[in-house]
Each structure stands twice: as C-alpha cells, then as structure tokens.
Amino acid sequence: MNNDPLDDLLRTAAQEPPLPKSFRSEVWTRIAYAEQRSLASWCHRALASLVRPLPAAVSVAATVMIGAWLGLATMPTAADAQLSYAESISPFLHQVSP
C-alpha cells in the first residue's frame, strides 16, 4: 500500500465546487431551447434522409404512382371523350350570336 501524504491531501481537497445560483434556470432554459429546435432538427433529418439514393428513388416512384392513380381516377370515360370531341368540331352545334 502506498500511504503517500500527497494522496491523502488530494482526497480531502477534491470537493465539488458550489454551483452558481442561476445553474438550474440555465439548465431549464437550455432544455426549452432544445425542445424548440427539435421540430427543426427533425425536419432537417427527414430531408437529409431523402437525399440518399434509396429513399429518393422510393419517393420519386411513390409520387409517380400517386400521379398516375389520380390521372386515371379523373379521366373521362371513352364515350364522354368521343362526345366532347364531336361537340368541339361540329359546325352545327355552335350557336351564332346575331
């Protein structure tokens, strides 16, 4: 065993310094600030993940599929399309204003 007097002196001197009075309020201020930034950091992480190749390809494919589905869902039927075309080119269906 090493009974060096310096070791005993260092053990007695190693006390924690007193915290400043504003320590608690500063900690809670930092926590509140971090919570405010959490939405921004979440958005940043989400957008950063989309620039990777696989998520970018998946998001492009999903966008194309949704666009195609919406296009097919709103497309007029063939009979309506033929009637619309016939009405647009027929000279007899246009009324002439006097």
Per-residue pLDDT of the chain (98 residues; tens, 9 = 90+): 567 888 888 877 767 778 888 998 999 999 888 876 777 778 888 888 888 999 889 999 999 999 999 998 888 777 788 888 888 888 776 665 45
> Is residue 6 assigned to a domain?
no
> Is residue 8 assigned to a domain?
no
State the pLDDT at residue 54. 92
State the pLDDT at residue 95. 60
Range of the domain at 52: 26-73
Distance between CA 48 and CA 41 in Å, rounded?
10
pTM above 0.85, yes or no: no
> Is residue 1 assigned to a domain?
no
Output the furthest CA–CA distance in the chain (Å, rounded). 120
State the pLDDT at residue 60. 93
As given in the structure block, the two tokens for residue 8 are: 């005993």
> Is residue 50 assigned to a domain?
yes
- Tally of domains within the chain: 1
As given in the structure block, the two tokens for residue 27 are: 């900690």
> Is residue 9 assigned to a domain?
no
